[in-house]
Amino acid sequence: MRSSQSLLCLCATLLLFACQPTNNSSQKNTVNENTLTAAYLSATVYAGSTVYQFMKADGEVFDFTAGNFEEAKIEVPANILEDPEVVDGPPGANPILIAKTFLLHKDEEGEINKISLVPGQEIFDKAILTSYQSAAQYPAHTEYYFQPHFEEEVIRFSIDHDDTNPSIMIPSNLLEDPADLPEDQTMEGPNPLVLGLEYILSYQGDKLAKVQIVPGQFVPAKIVEATYRSAAVYAGKIEYEFRTKDKKSFLVSDGVDEEATIEMPYNMLEDDEDLEGPPGANPEMVGKILELHYDKQNRVHRILNPDRN
């Protein structure tokens, strides 16, 4: 249990955030069983409630809302959130518990009323939420770079190539596939498919012990760089034209407004406030080389502007 001082600190922090979360169709867990096993992804604290996000074993991500303080009706572990005394602003998910498996208990009406950690899992002394920034391979070792959230200093660590039993457990796909390297290149760099994704760096004492990706993130099957050429808005869809480095043009279609499914920069189109007809491509974006991230079904899932991401 937190001390009364910690509770007062958390209360004061929450009062600074008066907005409430908007309604979400997934706030009620509709699974009929009395319990559900799911991985903990994140938490967002508002003035009167906290939204918890979990992921089922089949990859489905869902969230639900729990009240705070006197509005609390869901029993949760005392350490499910960060300590409000050591963070600026409202606390988020406790990094040592992110990606851990929890048991979500439900009442007779199917509403979640208790969250408990599945026993037997390794819980580290400390964990830091980061994003993967880069890697550099040298003849004797490889260096990895991760950027902690809300901190400027990058975390850097290295692993020797001849270390058959490294003290740091890392994912196997942080580096490029050697088969994709140019003939004149032997040193691997960072895997572009996972750059920028969130990872948990877990520590035993002061020593880094494990690097683990935060589950539930989209990992592209491939990334294509292409120059943005034009856009045409029709009734119910928008077509974006791109051109590859080898001068091949192609179109990417997306829905309009609520029907849009592709994540992309907000300023792909002209500002239509002063336009008489439908907007075209934003002239400030035309000519930029963008990254198109494809899913396993070869569909564009996300478009990124490398200059701003």
Higher pLDDT, 44 or 187: 44
Residue 46 pLDDT > 50: yes
Mean pLDDT across 4-24: 44
Alpha carbon 110 to its chain centroid, in Å, reads 28
Mean pLDDT across 240-260: 95
Give the model's confidence band at 13: pLDDT under 50 very low, under 70 low, under 90 confident, else very high: very low
Apex 306 CA angle, 303 and 307, nearest 5:
130
Question: Minimal CA–CA distance to 98: which of 118, 80, 116, 75?
Answer: 80
Higher pLDDT, 62 or 164: 62
Query: Which residues, in sequence order, are CB contacts of 291 under 8 Å at separation 6+?
Result: 223, 224, 225, 303, 304, 305, 306
Residue found by looking up tokens 């683990």 in the block = 212
Report the pLDDT value the prediction gives residue 277, as an integer from 0 to 100: 83
Cβ atoms of 18 and 33 within 8 Å: the answer is no
Question: Within 10 Å of residue 17's Cβ, how many Cβ atoms?
Answer: 14
Please state whether 222 falls in left (phi above 0), alpha (psi between -120 and 50) or beta: beta
Report the pLDDT value the prediction gives residue 33, as an integer from 0 to 100: 64
Cβ atoms of 249 and 243 within 8 Å: the answer is yes
Per-residue pLDDT of 110-150, as tens digits, reads 889 999 999 999 999 999 999 999 999 999 999 999 999 87
Report the pLDDT value the prediction gives residue 183, as an integer from 0 to 100: 79
pTM for this model (two decimals): 0.77
Cβ atoms of 104 and 115 within 8 Å: the answer is yes
Give the model's confidence band at 85: pLDDT under 50 very low, under 70 low, under 90 confident, else very high: confident
Residue found by looking up tokens 């500002």 in the block = 271
What are 142's two structure tokens?
């490889």
Enumerate domains of the chain plus CATH numbers: 4-117 (no CATH), 126-213 (no CATH), 222-304 (2.40.50)
Give me the amino acid identity at 49: S
Give the model's confidence band at 163: pLDDT under 50 very low, under 70 low, under 90 confident, else very high: confident
Mean pLDDT across 151-161: 92
Report the pLDDT value the prediction gives residue 186, as an integer from 0 to 100: 75
Residue 10 pLDDT > 50: no
The CA radius of gyration of the chain, in Å to the nearest whole number, is 23
